[in-house]
Amino acid sequence: MARLKDLPEALGTNLVNLPCPEFADTPWVQPPPLAESRLAAISTAGLHMRGDIPFTGFSGEYRVIPGDAAAGDLVMSHVSTNFDRSGFQQDLNLVLPLDRLRELTEHGTIRSLASYHYSFMGATDPVPMEQAARQVAGQLKGDGVDTVLLVPV
Amino acid sequence: MGGLSHYLEREGLATTQISLIREHSEKIKPPRALWVPFELGRPLGVPNDPAFQKRVLLAALNLLEAPSGPVLVDFPEEAPVSTTQAGPLACPISLPRKQTDLDSREGLRQAFLQEVIQMAVWHREAEKKRGRTTYGASGLDPQEAARLLAGFLVGELPANPMNNLSLASLVKLASEDIKALYMEAITTLPGGLTDSASLTDWFFGQCVAGQVFLRLREVMSQSPDKETRLVGSRLLIPVSQASRKVFA
């Protein structure tokens, strides 16, 4: 359903015209096989731990989600009102599939999961987000992570 | 989202991502992206369907085996349609007749506060059943959140109980918390309706809260404060409901 033609016209037009960052080329890192990977998840759904500071602007900041976070620990403060939240309200895994990732790890499909996952708020100016992303990358590498799954909303 | 892939990959981390807007991924060219034909807000496709979610997840992770990129692949399955309810939903609460004078702002305020109290009863049942709630980003309890929103209706600028947030930001967070209260309550009632379009129509078309949001849009859009105008004009009512009129 996230085909632009299926969205309300005004929203579809906004999304088509949303400025996207442009890159001269695409960087490429060859990951280890998944069964040997340590993986972190990053969401842009504006998720954060209950009691953490909500997302209220477009400054590119991020929030930390501990690897052992339970579904009831997380709330969402993305500012957009133009995406469905009712699915997230029924099942965290719809936007951040922590249970599915844990199952794949128990099964040996993925070697291990990061000690911390991260959350940004999408629709943010990429310039400040780049600085925050570099900081997150440093933290992920410090945790031994080599592979990242990114999930939009 | 695609920008983040570039930034992280440049730092030496391999990334794979889900993409909801194919046109954006075509422009940004992240290293590996799985486009999914699901609605915005549902990147894994279907709530409470672990098998479906696992197929989406594995399809995204399998892109890590590609020898070179950028890679943009389409997920082949549509999300099943989840509507199970015949006919429009009604708001499952009972308001006293004298408090349903929605034509006046004070009447609307009173009816809203009553509706929230009654919806909170359903919500407690929903939380018990689900073992979780997503209510709470504002830090306010339901009655505090309702009083904050209702205060704008009658020209009161309530004191900001949170010193780390602007009043406009708090109104936005409170509005999403109130929607979460209603949506979590209704989606656990018998009938099991889960499709987002019906739920949104129900909130804005059947509940007093929807009328409050439409009125708030009018009031906040005329504020001298820029942030309050932004929240009122763009961050309260989804585009799909933008043409709905107050007291329609």
For A68-141, list the strands marked E by DSSP.
74-76, 112-113, 116-120
Same domain flag for B209 and B122: yes
pLDDT at A105: 98
Same domain flag for B147 and B194: yes
* Residue B90, in any domain of the structure: no
Instruction: Give the total number of structural domains in chain B.
Output: 2
Structure tokens at B91: 């708001």
With contact defined as beta carbons under 8 Å apart, do A73 and A119 qualify? no
Residue A107 contacts B, CB cutoff 8 Å: no
Task: Report the predicted TM-score, pTM, of the whole model to 2 decimal places.
Answer: 0.92
Same domain flag for B52 and B123: no
Looking at residues A114-141, what average pLDDT do you find?
Answer: 92
With contact defined as beta carbons under 8 Å apart, do A69 and A40 qualify? no
Q: Where are the alpha helices (DSSP H) in chain B?
A: 2-10, 22-28, 50-62, 105-130, 142-153, 167-186, 196-206, 208-221, 226-234
Of the three residues B17, B43, B74, the one that is the final residue of a domain is B74
Express each pLDDT in A5-52 by its tens digit.
778 887 887 777 777 888 989 999 999 999 999 999 999 999 999 999
Looking at residues B114-122, what average pLDDT do you find?
Answer: 95
Closest Cβ–Cβ partner in B20, B29, B132 for A2: B20
Express each pLDDT in A52-89 by its tens digit.
999 987 788 999 999 999 999 999 999 999 999 999 99
Structure tokens at B125: 């049942």
pLDDT at B64: 98
Domain of B128 in residue numbering reads as 97-241
Chain A residue whose CA is closest to B128: A72
**Pairwise CB contact (< 8 Å): A28 & B50:** no
Same domain flag for B174 and B220: yes
Q: How far is CA B102 from CA A44, A80, B154, in A?
A: 38, 28, 13
Same domain flag for B116 and B162: yes
* Residue B81, in any domain of the structure: no
pLDDT at B92: 75
* Residue B206, in any domain of the structure: yes
Same domain flag for B142 and B191: yes
Residue A49 contacts B, CB cutoff 8 Å: no
All residues at 6 or more sequence positions from A5 whose CB lies less than 8 Å from its CB, including other chains: A12
Express each pLDDT in B17-32 by its tens digit.
999 999 999 999 999 9
Distance from CA of B113 to the nearest CA of A (A): 22
* Residue B185, in any domain of the structure: yes
Same domain flag for B18 and B112: no
Instruction: Using alpha carbons, select from A96, A150, A119 the residue that is nearest to residue B24.
Output: A150
Of the three residues B14, B43, B74, the one that is the final residue of a domain is B74
Same domain flag for B56 and B177: no
Q: Which residues 16-35 on chain B approach chain A with CB closer than 8 angstroms?
A: 16-24, 27-31
* Residue B91, in any domain of the structure: no
Residue A137 contacts B, CB cutoff 8 Å: yes
pLDDT at B248: 47
Express each pLDDT in B50-98 by its tens digit.
999 999 999 999 999 999 999 999 999 999 876 555 555 677 777 665 5
Same domain flag for B101 and B69: no
